[in-house]
Amino acid sequence: MKIYIDEEKCTGCGKCKAACPKGPRIYSIEKKDGRKVCVLKDPSYCLGCRMCVTVCMEDAITLEN
C-alpha cells in the first residue's frame, strides 16, 4: 500500500496514528512551518486496513495499492 498525506489538509490531530494498529511505526506528528502535521516514518508497516482514512476528518490521507 502507498500512503499519501496532504499536508495542506492535515491538522496534525494524531487520530490516524491512534487508530492504526501499526500507527507509531508508520506515523509521526511533527511541526512543519509552524504547525503540526502528520508525516510518514515507515509506510512499509501498513496493513491496508484503512483505519487511518476512516478516522481522518480532514480527508488528508489516501491509500493506494
Tens-level pLDDT at each residue, the chain (65 residues): 899 999 999 999 999 999 999 999 999 999 999 999 999 999 999 999 999 999 999 999 999 98
Enclosing H/E stretch for 45: none
Written as nine digits, the cell of 30 is: 511533527
Q: What is the pLDDT of residue 1?
A: 84
Beta bridge mates, 62: 4
Q: Would you say domain 2-64 falls under CATH 3.30.200.20?
A: no
CB atoms under 10 Å from CB of 43, counted, come to 16
Written as nine digits, the cell of 27 is: 506515523
pTM of the model: 0.91
